[in-house]
């Protein structure tokens, strides 16, 4: 049995989507960020970084969303959400999962929390504007990549696409709308229409109706 410590519409969403997609047996453990539950002693014993998500499986305790995603894929190889060893798409899978986490998500966090990245309050709006432009460049790069393949890591869906879907839920207030990236928008809609995704978003109370139009 897998236990996913999560908070709705957080970095735990991608692992949650994969657990549902793979049909692995799991339970959810809510970590209420609004009451700083991720900073309590009990949670810090599981995850000393004090971040969400954390996955517990048997004697394993694992944190960091991409690592959890990879682990879930390896536990359900029949779902084929990660190219197997030796497959030509496997390097692309790791390239894009790393890029989404280290570049897109990292840049997004600066845009979302600019006050954490300056000691001068007058500079906050400048940081946000610069990050908006940077995020638009990243989305354009992803849109171009998706003009060459149906999915990020090739012609079959992978964990990368679910991770990207999670991040796109957070980018709705950028200066350039997601609908202006045709290939990216196509992928978002395709993922949004998967039964497992709809089920998870209902559990987490995430409205994805605008992605299914």
Q: What pLDDT does residue 213 have?
A: 61
Domain extent listing, the chain: 2-79, 90-203
* Six token digits for residue 50: 């004090």
Give 111-145 pLDDT, tens digit per residue: 988 888 888 888 888 899 999 999 999 999 999 99
Whether residue 177 contacts residue 139, with contact meaning beta carbons closer than 8 Å, is answered with no
Total residues found in the chain within this entry: 213
Which overall architecture, per CATH, does domain 90-203 show? Up-down Bundle (1.20)
- Rounded to two decimals, the pTM is 0.95
Q: What is the distance between the alpha carbons of residues 40 and 42, in angstroms, rounded to a whole number?
A: 5
Query: Does domain 2-79 fall into CATH 3.30.2090.10?
Result: no
Residue 167 has pLDDT above 80, yes or no: yes
Give 21-64 pLDDT, tens digit per residue: 999 999 999 999 999 999 999 999 999 999 999 999 999 999 99
Same CATH fold assignment for domains 2-79 and 90-203? no
Whether residue 3 contacts residue 55, with contact meaning beta carbons closer than 8 Å, is answered with yes
């Amino acid at each position: 049995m897998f236990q996913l410590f999560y908070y709705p519409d957080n970095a735990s969403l991608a692992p949650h989507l994969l657990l549902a997609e793979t049909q692995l047996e799991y339970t959810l453990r809510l970590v209420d960020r609004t009451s700083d539950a991720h900073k309590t002693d009990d949670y810090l014993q599981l995850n000393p970084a004090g971040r969400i998500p954390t996955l517990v499986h048997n004697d394993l305790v694992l944190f960091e969303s991409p690592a959890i995603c990879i682990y879930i894929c390896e536990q359900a190889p029949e779902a084929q959400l990660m190219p197997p060893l030796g497959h030509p798409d496997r390097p692309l899978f790791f390239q894009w999962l790393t890029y989404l986490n280290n570049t897109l998500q990292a840049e997004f966090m600066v845009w979302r929390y600019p006050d954490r990245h300056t000691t001068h309050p007058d500079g906050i709006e400048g940081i946000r504007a610069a990050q908006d432009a940077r995020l638009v460049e990243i989305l354009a790069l992803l849109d171009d990549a998706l003009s060459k393949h149906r999915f990020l890591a090739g012609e079959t869906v992978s964990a990368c696409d679910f991770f990207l879907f999670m991040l796109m839920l957070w980018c709705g207030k950028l200066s350039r709308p997601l609908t202006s990236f045709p290939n990216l928008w196509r992928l978002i809609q395709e993922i949004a229409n998967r039964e497992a995704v709809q089920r998870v978003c209902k559990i987490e109370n995430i409205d994805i109706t605008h992605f299914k139009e």
